[in-house]
Amino acid sequence: MAPLAAPFSGDVPRGRRVLMGLVTAAVYGVLGWRAGPEPVLPALLYLAAVGTLLGFIDIRAKRLPDRFTLPSYGIAAALLAGAAPFTDDGLRRFEHALLGMALLFGLYFVQAFLVPSGIGMGDVKLAGVLGLYLGWFGQDAWILGLLATYLLGGVAGVGIMIVRRTRKGEFAFGPCMLAGALLALLAYSAPTA
């Protein structure tokens, strides 16, 4: 995956490539353990791969490239649609995924419009993709993902202000979004008995 990040974050040193691989493997492991052999697992693993890549790019370059966010809408929707026939209430879950996508995209778009210095358009585009996944797992997962994102973002922002000793300064919000979504997905992706 590191070669995919290079055009956006420069040459990726060996240590960072190893770290990216380890993070991806760890996220694969916890999602596989939590979700089990459910039909939605391929969709979750796709998110783990592209999410790790986007997180590393955003930390390094403070951007979320369209090259990865935009195709993720179609890929994620196709994987979730493929899981729907084999999942209890699959059609309802897929409808909720589409609604979750639209609502989270809309929420971030309004925020970016009202406070352009706070949320970038890359964050807005990533929000729609994350909304698909969170919506699949229901309203509670969607809300937890949103709250966890802003809690993690607040902690990161305060930490950066302390380290930089200034109230100003931007930071990559994408990793907070991805981590918040991951927490919600882990909480709600366990198979039902």
pLDDT above 70 as % of the chain: 91
Q: Is residue 170 part of a domain?
A: yes
Q: Is residue 13 part of a domain?
A: yes
Separation between Cα atoms, residue 137 and residue 83, nearest integer Å: 13
Which residue reads 């699949």 in tokens?
136
- In this structure, are residues 165 and 108 in contact, taking their beta carbons and an 8 Å threshold? no
Q: Is residue 3 part of a domain?
A: no
- Give the model confidence (pLDDT) of 43-62 as tens digits: 999 999 999 999 999 998 99
Separation between Cα atoms, residue 186 and residue 178, nearest integer Å: 12
- Give the model confidence (pLDDT) of 72-107 as tens digits: 999 999 999 999 999 999 999 999 999 999 999 999
Q: Is residue 66 part of a domain?
A: yes
Query: What does each C-alpha distance from 70 to 33, 138, 139, 155 come to in angstroms?
Result: 28, 23, 24, 28
For residue 4, the model assigns a pLDDT of: 62
Q: Is 80 exceeded by the pLDDT of residue 7?
A: no
Q: Is residue 193 part of a domain?
A: no
Q: Is residue 26 part of a domain?
A: yes
> Own/partner pairs for 74-79, CB < 8 Å, 24+ apart?
75/46, 76/43, 76/46, 76/47, 76/129, 76/132, 76/133, 77/132, 79/42, 79/43, 79/46
**Residue range(s) defining the domain that contains residue 136:** 8-188
- Helix and strand counts by DSSP (H, E) for the chain: 8, 0
The domain tally of the chain equals 1
For residue 63, the model assigns a pLDDT of: 93
Separation between Cα atoms, residue 69 and residue 13, nearest integer Å: 24
- In this structure, are residues 167 and 138 in contact, taking their beta carbons and an 8 Å threshold? no
Q: Is residue 134 part of a domain?
A: yes
Q: What is the mean pLDDT of residues 166-189?
A: 90
